[in-house]
Amino acid sequence: MLEISGKDISELSDSDLRALIGLLCEAELRTYGLPTAGVTWGGHQNAKDGGIDVRVDILSPLHADSFIPRSKTGFQVKKPDMPRADILSEMRPKGKLRQVIRDLVDSKGAYIIVSSQGSTADSALKDRKKQC
């Protein structure tokens, strides 16, 4: 069995982290017998992407316990830690919610920020989840 540690993840480059998230999304869809054609990522990591690095856009409903919460899910991949203030700035540059996030909301989708440096300690997660 392959074992990957948090240290292994934290040492990935931005582009390798993005590829890992894309491959994990494909693996998750395969787990439920769903096609992977709706998972997209690529291009230069720092290219203007509107806030989405990996996109899942499928027609099939997902299992309620899936790691991909909605049939339309956008992942923003960041190597550095993303404390709450940074998350708010990422989602709302200059105080305005990104169009890509509005589009996901309108389609009952989900937006997820992935950070390879962030803490998953309970207190850090609670702080990130506080309402604006």
Q: Which of 2-11, 61-70, 115-124 has the lowest mean pLDDT?
A: 115-124
- pLDDT tens column, 19-35: 999 999 999 999 999 99
Q: Is the pLDDT of residue 71 over 60?
A: yes
- Mean pLDDT over 59-72 rounds to 92
Tokens standing for 79?
């190597």
Tokens standing for 58?
């499928």
Please tell me which residue, 80 or 127, carries the higher pLDDT value: 80
pLDDT of residue 117: 85
End-to-end distance of the chain based on CA atoms, in angstroms?
A: 41
Q: Is the pLDDT of residue 131 over 60?
A: no
* Rounded Cα–Cα distance for residues 116 and 102 (Å): 25
Predicted confidence band of residue 129 (pLDDT cuts 50, 70, 90): low
* Rounded Cα–Cα distance for residues 95 and 78 (Å): 20
Q: pTM for the complete prediction?
A: 0.85
pLDDT of residue 44: 66
